[in-house]
Structure 1
């Protein structure tokens, strides 16, 4: 989660500066949520397509990969953001998902439970960000 000032500063950074800033924010106690390697599986479960093919305008896709992608060199990783006023639509869409019916394809029950847990954790994180009036930065490196 970041405030307006931090988001504006980060929009001017390159990938290395952005990663350094995120690390400093986390070390400084800023609230964050780490999906780790399940972000691809979560996106696929929610949208039916890979996270490498985000669905523009789909709040469930945007829940996993963000709304606004930062234009950086590919080797710098992936960075995106969702602004505070965009969180409401994402939260509303996520609240409509029936967790019992989440399809994770032909995977074991343990993975389905992990994806469900990540979904629930991410939704809770977005609720806290919205309540705090914060923006959300995404990174995959």
Structure 2
């Protein structure tokens, strides 16, 4: 298995309910399992996407950096597992920032060996798989971008869970 990244649409009322629970992790996991919850599973590429966009691991989120917040959220909860939330007011700024990313240019200039050197999770960053890894990163970028656009259209926030 490993550390998987899951993004969920969540309005502020839902977030208030989840954060009132004594076990935030369990509450978020149950919320994500509901059939009615709109989710996007980035699998294990959350750290690679963060590194591609920011040059640092997602383990070191950059406060105020909209590309970092795109991957890891704007407000990180104080708990054992990684759970974060981006409220609806921050979604337009994040979308503006990601719309300015020229993903093909970014990928063309990306050096997969730097991912390995930076110990980006998971340990898959090898030169012989460079083209397929770049294609996967591009697809995850586009899918996550579309998910944030859904959040914007629904006027909701995005809940991020990485565990």
Would the TM-score normalized by the shorter structure come out above 0.5? yes
1:89, 1:12 → 2: CA distance? Answer: 28
The correspondence of residues 95-110 of structure 1 with structure 2, limited to 5 A, is 95-103=99-107, 104-106=110-112, 107=127, 108-110=130-132
- Segments of 5+ residues of structure 2 without an aligned counterpart are 1-8, 113-126
Partner of 2:12: 4
* Segment drifting more, 101-110 vs 61-70: 101-110
| 1:6 alignment partner, SS class | helix
Q: Does 1:61 align with 2:68?
A: yes
Of the candidates 74, 81, 85, which is equivalent to residue 85 of structure 2? 81
- Partner SS for 2:161: strand
CA contact (8 A) 2:82 2:161 kept: yes
Return 5+ residue gaps in structure 1 as ranges: none
The structural deviation recorded for 1:3 is: 2.1
Q: Does 1:93 align with 2:97?
A: yes
**Separation (CA, whole Å) in 2 of partners of 1:121 and 1:69:** 22
1:131 aligned residue = 153
Superposed, which structure 2 residues align to 1:43-62 within 5 Å? 43-62=50-69
How far off its partner does 1:65 sit? 0.3
1:70 equivalenced with 2:77 (yes/no):
yes
Deviating 4+ runs (over 4 angstroms): none
Q: Name the one with the larger strand percent.
A: 2
Give the aligned CA root-mean-square deviation in angstroms: 1.2
TM-score by length of 2: 0.78
With structure 1 as the length reference, what TM-score do the two structures score? 0.90
Give runs of aligned pairs for residues 8-23 of structure 1, distance below 5 A: 8-13=16-21, 14=23, 15-23=25-33
Number of paired residues?
135
